[in-house]
Amino acid sequence: MKNDNMIEVKGVSKSFGGLKAVSDCSLQVEKGSITGLIGPNGAGKTTLFNIVAGTLMPDQGQIIFDGEDVTALKPHELHAKGMLRTFQIAHEFSAMTALENLMVAASEQPGESLFQSWFNIKHVTDFDLEVRKMALDVIDFLHLGHVKNELAGNLSGGQKKLLELGRTMMTDAKAVLLDEVAAGVNKTLLKDLASNIQRMNRELGYTFFVIEHDMDLIAELCDPVIVMAQGTKIAEGPMEDIRNNPEIVEAYFGTAVEAAS
Ligand X SMILES: Nc1ncnc2c1ncn2[C@@H]1O[C@H](COP(=O)(O)OP(=O)(O)OP(=O)(O)O)[C@@H](O)[C@H]1O
Report the interface residues with ligand X, using CB under 6 A. 16, 19, 21, 39, 41-47
Rounded to a whole number of angstroms, the minimum distance from the CB of residue 17 to ligand X is: 7
3-state secondary structure of 73: coil
Rounded to a whole number of angstroms, the minimum distance from the CB of residue 47 to ligand X is: 3
User: Which one, of 94, 59, 196, lies nearest residue 139 by Cα?
Assistant: 196
Rounded to a whole number of angstroms, the minimum distance from the CB of residue 11 to ligand X is: 17
Rounded to a whole number of angstroms, the minimum distance from the CB of residue 43 to ligand X is: 4
Query: Do 210 and 36 touch, CB atoms closer than 8 A?
Result: yes
Give the amino acid at 131: V
Give the amino acid at 119: F
Q: Quick one: 1 or 19, whose CB is closer to ligand X?
A: 19
Q: Quick one: 19 or 95, whose CB is closer to ligand X?
A: 19
Rounded to a whole number of angstroms, the minimum distance from the CB of residue 243 to ligand X is: 18
Rounded to a whole number of angstroms, the minimum distance from the CB of residue 41 to ligand X is: 3
Query: Do 9 and 24 touch, CB atoms closer than 8 A?
Result: no
Q: Quick one: 46 or 198, whose CB is closer to ligand X?
A: 46
Query: Do 102 and 91 touch, CB atoms closer than 8 A?
Result: no
Query: Do 83 and 177 touch, CB atoms closer than 8 A?
Result: yes
Reported residue count of the chain is 261
3-state secondary structure of 202: helix
Can the peptide bond before residue 110 be classed as cis, meaning omega within 30 degrees of 0? no
Q: Quick one: 75 or 111, whose CB is closer to ligand X?
A: 75
Q: Give CA–CA dist 222/90, Å, rounded.
A: 21
Q: Quick one: 162 or 219, whose CB is closer to ligand X?
A: 219
User: Which one, of 101, 189, 196, lies nearest residue 150 by Cα?
Assistant: 101
